[in-house]
Each structure stands twice: as C-alpha cells, then as structure tokens.
Amino acid sequence: MKRLIISLATVAIFLFFFVSCYYDSEEALYPALSTSCDTTNVTFSGTIVPILDNNCFACHSNNTAASNNTIPLQNYADVLAKADRIIGSIKHLNSFSPMPKSGGLIKTCSINQFDIWVRKGMLNN
C-alpha cells in the first residue's frame, strides 16, 4: 500500500511540473477573440508607449531598470537608441535576448506596429 501511495504521489508531482504550465500567445489560444490591428495610425505616444507599458515596463522602467540591471525604455530617447535591439528581442531573432523574459512572443499586432514605427522613421509623435 505504501508503494502505491508513493507511486501515485510521484506521478502527481511529475504531472504538476511537466504538464501544467506552458506559454502560448492569446492570439494562438483564442483566434476568434483577435481584433483588427491598426497599422495605419502608428505613433510613439499612442501605439508604442502602450506596447511598452503592457509588455516591458515591469522590468524596463526607470524605477526598475537599475535594480534589475536592465536597460531603461521609459522615454523616447531610450527607445530610439535601442529600437533595433528591441525589434530583434520582441521577434525572438537569433543573437538577441528574447523578450519578454516571461515566455512567449508579445501579440503579433504589437510586433507589427513596432516594426512599422521603426520603418516609418521612429517619429516622436
């Protein structure tokens, strides 16, 4: 009886650690919930700052960057200076540190909007 309990406990622990968690994007999990992506009116203040706020500021704001030993992305100058690194990181390209560190890619729409902002000259608008 003791062996049976130990075996069941081992299987339960295995299942808990190796099956319970995975990272996937919301768009992949719930494609019907995806809405259209505005790629025509991409601005720094209206599009890029909210993307950074939702995905990056937890580690890359001025308040947390120093204590986390990460680069700050709090303002336009910070983002402008690191735009190429940001693109490579959010796209999870080779030779870039994949961001966010918490797992999968950010929303495809956000990646496309950031990419469009860079291609259009990274205006501070």
Contact predicate 17/82, CB 8 Å: no
Contact predicate 30/110, CB 8 Å: no
pLDDT in tens, 43-57: 999 999 999 999 998
pLDDT in tens, 82-120: 999 999 999 999 999 999 887 789 999 999 999 999 999
Q: Which residue has the tokens 């720094």?
A: 44
Q: What count of other Cβ atoms lies within 10 Å of the Cβ of residue 56?
A: 22
User: What's the pLDDT score for residue 61?
Assistant: 84
User: What's the pLDDT score for residue 102?
Assistant: 72
DSSP the chain: -HHHHHHHHHHHHHHHHHHS-----HHHH-GGG------SS--IIIIIHHHHHHHTHHHHSHHHHHHHT-----SHHHHHHHHHHHHHHHTT-TTS--SSTTSS---HHHHHHHHHHHHTT----
What is the C-alpha to C-alpha distance for residues 111 and 87, in angstroms, rounded to an integer? 8
111 or 9, greater pLDDT? 111
What is the C-alpha to C-alpha distance for residues 65 and 20, in angstroms, rounded to an integer? 31
What is the C-alpha to C-alpha distance for residues 86 and 98, in angstroms, rounded to an integer? 9
